Structure formats: structure tokens, C-alpha cells
Structure 1
Amino acid sequence: MTTVDFVMTEHASWSATADGASRIVAMPDGGRWLVTTDGGSIVQQSLDESSMTPTVDVFSLSGRIGAAPELTAALSDMGTVARMRNLNLWDAIGTAIIRQVIRAGQAKKLYRAFCEEFGEQAILPDGQVHSLFPGPEMVLKIGADEFKSVGMAFKRPAIQAAAQAYIDHSELWHDLEPTDLIDALQTVPRIGPWTARAAVADWSNDWSLYPYADLAVRTWAKRAAPSYVWPSDEPAFEGVWRTLAGDHLSSLTLLTLAWGSKHGDIG
């Protein structure tokens, strides 16, 4: 069990429970794990004979964030924050594609509907059923009308192109360094820099790779430190964010998103 001050459950595969949240984790070796949290601890339970275990990374703020003491205080108050890596690269890619253009809340609804309609079912020890993200082979079999029935018609070209590319290149992709994987993913039609970086950050838990000038980071930074004069455009914000972060770009970005997960939802 991992015990921290806060557990991030922003990924759409987390479902609310009476005490916190739960998630079925599909491992690269085909294993399945049930992961539960009450907000301050993570408990993992194997559902089969998986030889791999989920990876949980813990983030905390060390030192002051540039010339933004208000942001430093807000993120320091978070204490230690845990986030599970999404070791299923295909799920990370699919999740990032679903998140393209639309708001976070709507993306979660689409992700869950897609899983429930087309994903493999995992039965929990108490008899409850969770639906996993459909594999790339299954995604290629889903017809246009079926995509439309779950509100995913607009996502079909991108996610099916990614499914074929994953089948063709996944072995190579898993061996690449994260920065090289970002470049590789952008060779897939309809996957641009935002999608590639979001997917690889989810998969690696290296949040220096996340598109940290996006709406979510900008929104939560402004709310956490309203007195700081934040740039309104993405390129300027990106430069300021890198300067403020110094050597802590990954933890600053992750903790800011965690602050948003704790204090509100823009989706």
C-alpha cells in the first residue's frame, strides 16, 4: 500500500466508490489489477497471475517556484501526491485522442461509454464488472454507425488510424525513449504534438513532456496563484512556465494539475 496526502484520479478509467475511487489496470503482459484509493492511500490487488505490478509515482514540491510565492504555497499545501502510470500505452494513446478538442468532462463520458460498449469486461472479486478500453484489433472492427451510437463518430478516423499504427509498430514504440516516442506518434494521421505529448506523459509519468501550456495548466495556475501576472497566450505562458519551473518542470506541471483535480473541474 502506498500512503500519501493526495491521489490523482483524473484518468477516465477511475470510477467513484463510497470511500474514494477504483480502477482496473490492464498490464502490458495481459494481467489485470484492481486499484483502490480513499484519497490518501493506494491499495493494489491482482486479479490473475500477472507477473507485473502497477507503478505508482509520488510527487512533491521541493523548493520555491521561481518568483511565484503564491503558487509555491498552494502546491506545497498539496503535500505528497501519487499518480499511477498508465502502463498500457494503447490506452494512453486512445485516451489522448478522445481528449482532443473537447472538454475534460465530455472526454471522460465518451471514454467510459466506449469502454462499456466495446471493451473487455473484468469481473471483480465482489462480482462487480468493469469495462476496459477496447484493444486496437477490436477498434478496427467497430463500424461507423457503432462509433456514432456512442458519440465517437468524430474520433473514429484518428483512433482507427492509431489502432492500425499500434498493431504495426507497438513493439518498436515500447523500446523508444519518451521523447522519441512523441516524435513517432506524430507520424500517425491526426495525432499532433498535443496528443502525442499527453499520451506519453500519461504513460511515462514524466510531466515535463506534457503540453504544459494547455488550457488545464493555464487555468489551474491562474486559480492557484491569482495575484501572479500570467500571460494570456500559450507560447508566452510556456516560456514563463519553463522559467518558473527550473529543474522541476515535471513535478510543477503534475502538481498544478493535481491541484486542479482537488479543487475543481474545468471539464
Structure 2
Amino acid sequence: MRTLCEHPAWNNGRRLARTPAGTVVATDGADGITLSTPGPALDVYDPADLTAAPDQVRRGLQGRGPVARLRTPDLWEAIATAIIRQVIRADQARLMYQRFTDTHGDPTEAGRVFPGAETVLALGDEAFAELGMAFKRDPLRAAAQAVLDHGEKWGQLPALDLVDELQSVPRIGPWTAGATVADFTGDFSLYPYGDMAVRKYARQTFPDLDLPDQEAAFAARWSAYCATPSELSVLTALTLALGGDRAKPLDRNEPS
């Protein structure tokens, strides 16, 4: 089974995930994802669940089989990851995320995990500037404070309500809120499925489809391929997985 490794915490088939009970090590193998201890939810997106998509889409996805994904169990990390992903390319975001974790992450026996909200609030301006993250400083700080103030309540909200609530935080708009909630809940019907990554992989894989170039028009066509939000979640997650292995080792010397 393939693994959807779009989250930048994945590196060389391994990911550390912060949970209320401690740090869990996830490993991507031939049989899917294995966890060092139970805790984080694993979702499986199966092309067999698609009923309304065009035949070429269903056939193409069925040939690749189901895809497993690890939910991010920590709401703060899901929000911060989506903020880091704003505006920049996926490879840049992955490198930035991992440099930030390597430098300022909270230490555990398994390695450093993404810095907690308290850690981020304690960092000085220079800590962000040294990593080329000055433009991420203010939104990360605002989100960290918001999570400390409201995170317990937010974690209990229905997914659609959480999308709305997150947009009360400065510099979090619909894209960031949707990406956060998809990461946290596993529901990719809430992901900004008209974004560049989905459009790119869909066109590459299904060149015979008449897919619009413009984001809003693409999103409308994409959702029309699905009979239910559940099918939209499956279609979007499987399409993101078409991006291939984005969990390869990183060159920490690569310029960002």
C-alpha cells in the first residue's frame, strides 16, 4: 500500500508525531504505515469507493491501489504546518519545516519534534530571521497564542466549524484553514482541492480530461466528479498521492 507523505514531517520514510501521550514514530513500509505505539489515526483512501468520477479517473486510480495517511494528531502542528506551506513551493516548505524542527524542535527520546506553541512564542525575532522565516514569524506567533487560548475547545469542534474558527486568527484564510483541518481530521473534502498541486497531478495523470486551468473553475469541476463529500475526500487524497515519493531524504544545505 502506498503512503500519502505530503506532510513535511516525513523524511526518508520516517515521521515523528506529537500526541497527548507522547511522541509516536511512524514508519512507511511496503505494507503501509506502522506506528511505534498506538495513538494517531490512520486513514485509508480506496479508489473502489469512487462511484461518480469519470471512468478514466477511476481506472487510473484503481490501478494504483489504496493509499494510507497518518493524521497529524496535534492541532497546533497542523496549523503551523499549513502556515509554513503558505505561498511557497512544497519542497521549500518541507525544507523550512525540517530546519525549524532541527533547530528549535522540542527534544524527545525519538528525536526532535516540531516546536510546541510555547516554544515558538518564546523565540526571539532573530531565531526566525536566521532560518529565512521572518515572514512566517507573525502568523506563527498569532496562531501559537490562539491555540494556547482556544485549542482545547477547537479540538472538539466539528470540522466545518473548525475551518471557520481558524479564520479568526490573523493571516489564516480559507486555504490555510482548509489545509489545516484536512491534515487534522483526514477529511480531504475540506482541503483546498483547487490548488496548484491537485491541478498539476490531475493533469499529468489524466491528460484526456477536460480540466479548467483556473482554480475556482477546476474546483467546481473536481467536486462535480463526486457524489458525496466522502468521495471528494478520497479523490483529492488519492490525487495528491500521485505526486510520488515526497518523503525522500533532504539536503539540509539546499538553499531555501
Q: TM-score, normalising length from structure 1?
A: 0.87
Kindly indicate whether the alpha-carbon contact (under 8 Å) linking 2:5 and 2:247 is maintained by their aligned counterparts in 1.
Answer: no
1:34 aligned onto 2:11: no
- Equivalents in 1 of 2:240, 2:39: separation in Å? 25
Aligned residue type for 1:81: V
> 1:219 is matched with which residue?
200
> 2:99 is matched with which residue?
113
> 1:165 is matched with which residue?
146
Quote how far apart the aligned CAs of 1:235 are.
1.2
> 1:8 is matched with which residue?
4
- Equivalents in 1 of 2:105, 2:136: separation in Å? 16
Aligned residues: 247
SS of structure 1 residue aligned to 2:188: coil
User: Is there any run of 5+ residues in structure 2 with no aligned partner, and where?
Assistant: 249-256
> 2:67 is matched with which residue?
81
Moved more, 196-205 or 170-179: 170-179
1:71 aligned onto 2:62: no
> 1:150 is matched with which residue?
131
- Equivalents in 1 of 2:212, 2:246: separation in Å? 22
1:200 aligned onto 2:184: no
- Equivalents in 1 of 2:124, 2:136: separation in Å? 12
Moved more, 255-264 or 133-142: 255-264
SS of structure 2 residue aligned to 1:161: helix
Quote how far apart the aligned CAs of 1:117 are.
0.9
Kindly indicate whether the alpha-carbon contact (under 8 Å) linking 1:70 and 1:224 is maintained by their aligned counterparts in 2.
Answer: no
**How high is the sequence identity, in percent, across the aligned residues?**
42
Quote how far apart the aligned CAs of 1:71 are.
1.9
Kindly indicate whether the alpha-carbon contact (under 8 Å) linking 2:187 and 2:233 is maintained by their aligned counterparts in 1.
Answer: yes
Quote how far apart the aligned CAs of 1:53 are.
1.2
Quote how far apart the aligned CAs of 1:66 are.
4.2
Kindly indicate whether the alpha-carbon contact (under 8 Å) linking 1:194 and 1:211 is maintained by their aligned counterparts in 2.
Answer: yes
Quote how far apart the aligned CAs of 1:70 are.
2.3
Structure 1 residues 32-58: Cα deviation after superposition (integer angstroms, max 9, x where no partner): 111112243322113xxxxx6121111
- Equivalents in 2 of 1:153, 1:215: separation in Å? 25
- Equivalents in 1 of 2:116, 2:245: separation in Å? 31
Kindly indicate whether the alpha-carbon contact (under 8 Å) linking 2:178 and 2:192 is maintained by their aligned counterparts in 1.
Answer: yes
> 1:96 is matched with which residue?
82
| Greater RCO, 1 or 2 (C-alpha within 8 Å, sep 6+) | 2
- Equivalents in 2 of 1:263, 1:108: separation in Å? 9
> 1:231 is matched with which residue?
212
Kindly indicate whether the alpha-carbon contact (under 8 Å) linking 1:7 and 1:40 is maintained by their aligned counterparts in 2.
Answer: no
SS of structure 2 residue aligned to 1:57: strand
Structure 1 residues 226-248: Cα deviation after superposition (integer angstroms, max 9, x where no partner): 11111010111111011112221
- Equivalents in 2 of 1:218, 1:195: separation in Å? 17
Quote how far apart the aligned CAs of 1:140 are.
0.8
> 2:252 is matched with which residue?
none
Quote how far apart the aligned CAs of 1:264 are.
11
Of 237, 243, 248, which aligns to 1:260?
243
Kindly indicate whether the alpha-carbon contact (under 8 Å) linking 1:85 and 1:202 is maintained by their aligned counterparts in 2.
Answer: yes
1:23 aligned onto 2:15: yes
Structure 1 residues 162-205: Cα deviation after superposition (integer angstroms, max 9, x where no partner): 01111110111011101000100000000000000000000000
- Equivalents in 2 of 1:197, 1:189: separation in Å? 15
- Equivalents in 1 of 2:241, 2:103: separation in Å? 30
SS of structure 2 residue aligned to 1:220: helix
> 1:241 is matched with which residue?
222
Quote how far apart the aligned CAs of 1:263 are.
9.2
1:116 and 1:222, CA in 2 relative to 1: closer, same or farther beyond 3 A?
A: same
> 2:162 is matched with which residue?
181
SS of structure 2 residue aligned to 1:82: strand
Kindly indicate whether the alpha-carbon contact (under 8 Å) linking 2:49 and 2:234 is maintained by their aligned counterparts in 1.
Answer: no
Kindly indicate whether the alpha-carbon contact (under 8 Å) linking 2:5 and 2:245 is maintained by their aligned counterparts in 1.
Answer: no
Q: TM-score, normalising length from structure 2?
A: 0.91
- Equivalents in 1 of 2:174, 2:189: separation in Å? 14
1:168 and 1:264, CA in 2 relative to 1: closer, same or farther beyond 3 A?
A: closer
Kindly indicate whether the alpha-carbon contact (under 8 Å) linking 2:5 and 2:246 is maintained by their aligned counterparts in 1.
Answer: no
